[in-house]
Copies of this chain bind each other. A is one copy, B any other.
Amino acid sequence: MDKNLKRMATMQRLQVTGLELFYNNGYYNTSVDDILKELSLSKGAFYYHFDSKEDFFIQILENLLARKVYSLLIEPIEGHDNPVQLITDCFENALETAVHNELDCGFVLSNFVNEFRGKNEKISKHLNDILQIWEVNLVSTIQKGKFNGHIDRHVDAEGVALFLMSSYMGVRTLMADNAPSARKYRFMAQLKQFFKSIEVKQPAI
């Protein structure tokens, strides 16, 4: 049993470090040796645990990245409160996390999607799956808001979801380059402005 534990521990260390380096430098610009050097492990260790660099990355996607996206962007908006408030708080929190992340390199999913497009269909599919889960979740949350009277019934839920995803992905890229905190603040203000325009007008009591 201890064997299994050690195996898991080493694989976990490799994956965590791998994601960090892939995130910062890109997949193709990070060599397996770079990751191994960071952990003082050898090529033999790596290829004992993983079939290939590609297999390694896919496991990172499933074990680390998908869960990260889920806990940061999906789980927080699942609830029966005001969807507008839930999404606003969720974005606020996600962007705040990005601000305080010293080595933030933009929205990791967005970067990888761009890097693998047209170059590795297998990985691209995995990445698209994660994005799609996010999209589906956003759409259903917005639909919920339409039914429970928080969002105007005429809005196109898929359109709003797309707009939210687009703006989030874009601002993460821009935040990574300049003045992340100021840009986060400005972005959130405009996001709220947008939300106001799709909310049902509450009659002032």
Please report A residues at the B interface, Cβ cutoff 8 Å. 24-26, 28-29, 105-106, 110-111, 113-115, 117-119, 124, 128, 131, 155-156, 158-160, 162-163, 165-171, 173-174, 176-178, 183, 186-187, 189-191, 193-194, 196-198
Contact = CB atoms under 8 A, between A and B. Distances in A.
A117 B106 contact: yes
Given A114-B105, A114-B114, A166-B167, A159 B173 contact: no
Contact of A187 (B26, B29, B163): B163
A170 B166 contact: yes
Interface of A is mostly: helix
Contacts of A193: 155, 194, 197-198
A187 B166 contact: yes
Contact of A189 (B26, B115, B156, B186): B156
Given A115-B26, A117-B106, A170-B169, A163 B176 contact: no
A92 to B, nearest CB: 15
A79 to B, nearest CB: 24
Nearest to A127: B177
Contacts of A171: 162-163, 166, 170
Given A163-B191, A193-B198, A197-B193, A117 B176 contact: yes
Contacts of A159: 186-187, 189-190
A174 B183 contact: no
A63 to B, nearest CB: 23
Contacts of A177: 113, 117, 124, 128, 131
A187 B197 CA distance: 15
Contacts of A169: 166, 169-170, 173-174
B162 A190 contact: yes
A95 to B, nearest CB: 11
